[in-house]
Chain A
Amino acid sequence: MSTKIEEYASELLEAEKTREGIAPLTERDSSLTVEDAYYIQLEMVKQKLSEGRTIIGKKVGLTSAAMQKMLNVDEPDYGHLYDDMELKNEAVVKVDSMLAPKVEAEIGFVLSEDLAGPNVTFLDVMMATKYVVPTIEIIDSRVADWKIKLIDTVADNGSSAKVVVGDKQSTLEMLDLRTNSMVLYKNDELIATGAGAAALGHPAHAVAWLANKLHEFGISLKKDELILPGALSGAVVVEAGDTIKADFGPVGAVTVHFE
């Protein structure tokens, strides 16, 4: 299995570089398990680190009931965020640097201490949160035409591509992250709305899920890492010329331009 894992990891990394999507792993290899998929992702981590990348955080995906239903799963997944994925507010992104990008609005968490599972609760996450930030995650699939099952997206680093981080940093004081508003605009037109509860009931609960899930792989959440706890609305397809703004009310706003 280990050579197969290395091969699939290399294939996905190559697809990211060439922007040529691969055929779904699940269509080629029915013996792959979700655990194998995480080991493919971790093999990619190894290769990325050897290329000089650093890990700046993690993302949780499949946190909404709608997405879980679509992929016929009952739990979220996660991926790694690398230093070359991070973009500043108002960044300009080339659409053709990716395969088929979409955007999602998320409330990012930055922790003031490490968090290691098991038994991490959303209370622990709230207490360990240094601040939250408005973010837009740009997702992309290295699997051709987004024809993914759970195993495909897990292997493909949770379909993560970029993260645009807003400027405002807020402590949790006076915030209600369950009801916190999210309004998504494309070219000044309102296209989606949501609230914090869309991410597994509470974004901090999604972070707690991640800490406990990572424990299965001997990994913990690190102080000062950026954690994306899941989208607050459905993903939106973007093309060159689009400007996307996510406004999170008291948590602030973040904008990205595509060309």
Chain B
Amino acid sequence: MTVLTDREKEIVDYLYTAERDAREVVKVTDKYPELTIEEAYVIQDRLLEHRLSENNTKHVGVKLGLTSKAKQVMMGVDQAIYGYLHADMLATEWEPVKYSELIHPKVEPEIAFLLGEDLEGENITADDVIKATKYVAPALEVIDSRYKDFKFTLVDVIADNCSSIRFVVGSKWISPESIDLGGIGMVMSKNGRVEQTGSSAAVLGHPAEAIAWSVKELSKRGKGLKKGDIVLSGAMSEAISFESGDSVVAQFDGLGSVSMFCK
């Protein structure tokens, strides 16, 4: 059992209950402007331990955020971020995502990597990522920052598990060797209308590069990716808002499609 500092305990409870009650809160750095990125990742770890035990769920994977140049410029940062995915965040194409459980959700299209081997170390390359990947699949990630108006600093969003809340994985899975993952076109539509288009190149040039980056980042903190993990490699376009009654589908060149509906 990890012993938490008072500050960690306060922030963990604050962010956990905000998610549980689907209630937006003022950002953590308003009260603790001195928090560093390293401290934010420690808080994220503590929050995830708390969430695993409170929700009686399990770890299933990792998600990357801020993987596009545009988003990094918008946030005034020069690095991506990562958070974790739990089993109770997995939504399906055939059951609704419940709006009442969310605050102000947005959805973004991503390529999911399903790992057949562990990945760790500071010298991991995109090729290593491809070799360790058993399947890739189309995915939609629902993000739902716990912060008021979806506004935050890098430290805030890391502490908040990078706004993770739900994800949906499509049902066609293919080997990463059988497709050029660097240039997969994507069209995302809401209720039949095209909302976003993009390409997998938006994800740090190539989604496998983004995952290699995350492995290096994780190894700095003594962690890695595990066999069986699903990794959401980063958004291929801007996220779009949705609400109750909306249906979203993302179609990927060569990878099929993935959809979700909200009720």
Contact = CB atoms under 8 A, between A and B. Distances in A.
B232 to A, nearest CB: 12
Nearest to A196: B171
Contacts of A126: 114, 135, 173
A174 B172 CA distance: 6
B172 A175 contact: yes
B185 interface: no
Interface string A18-53: 000000000000000000000000000000000000
B92 A122 contact: yes
A119 B58 CA distance: 7
A173 B93 contact: no
B169 interface: yes
B153 interface: no
Nearest to B85: A123
B95 A201 contact: yes
Contact of B114 (A119, A127, A174, A201): A127
A172 B94 contact: no
Nearest to A197: B94
A173 B134 CA distance: 9
Interface string B250-263: 00000010000000
Interface residues of B, number: 26
Given A175-B172, A176-B172, A197-B94, A123 B230 contact: yes
B175 interface: yes
Which of B58, B134, B135, B173 counts the most chain A CB atoms within 10 A? Answer: B173
A205 B54 CA distance: 24
Interface string B105-128: 000000000101000000000000
Nearest to B169: A123
B53 to A, nearest CB: 13
Could you say which interface size class chain A belongs to?
Answer: 20 to 34
Contact of B93 (A127, A175, A200, A201): A201
Interface string A158-191: 0000000000000011111111000000000000
Interface string B170-184: 111111001000000
A174 B174 contact: yes
B174 A121 contact: no
Contacts of B187: none
B19 to A, nearest CB: 18
A174 B171 CA distance: 10
A202 interface: yes
A199 to B, nearest CB: 11
Interface string B85-100: 0011010111100000
Contacts of A175: 172-173
Contact of B135 (A121, A122, A173): A173
Given A172-B173, A173-B135, 16 more contacts: A119-B57, A119-B58, A123-B60, A123-B114, A124-B228, A127-B114, A127-B116, A172-B135, A173-B173, A174-B172, A174-B178, A176-B170, A176-B171, A179-B171, A196-B171, A202-B94
Interface of B: 56-58, 60, 87-88, 90, 92-95, 114, 116, 134-135, 169-175, 178, 228, 230, 256
29 contacts: A118-B56, A119-B56, A119-B58, A119-B87, A121-B90, A123-B90, A123-B114, A123-B169, A124-B60, A127-B228, A172-B173, A173-B135, A173-B174, A174-B172, A174-B178, A175-B172, A176-B170, A176-B171, A176-B172, A176-B256, A178-B93, A179-B171, A200-B94, A201-B92, A201-B94, A201-B95, A202-B92, A202-B171, A205-B92
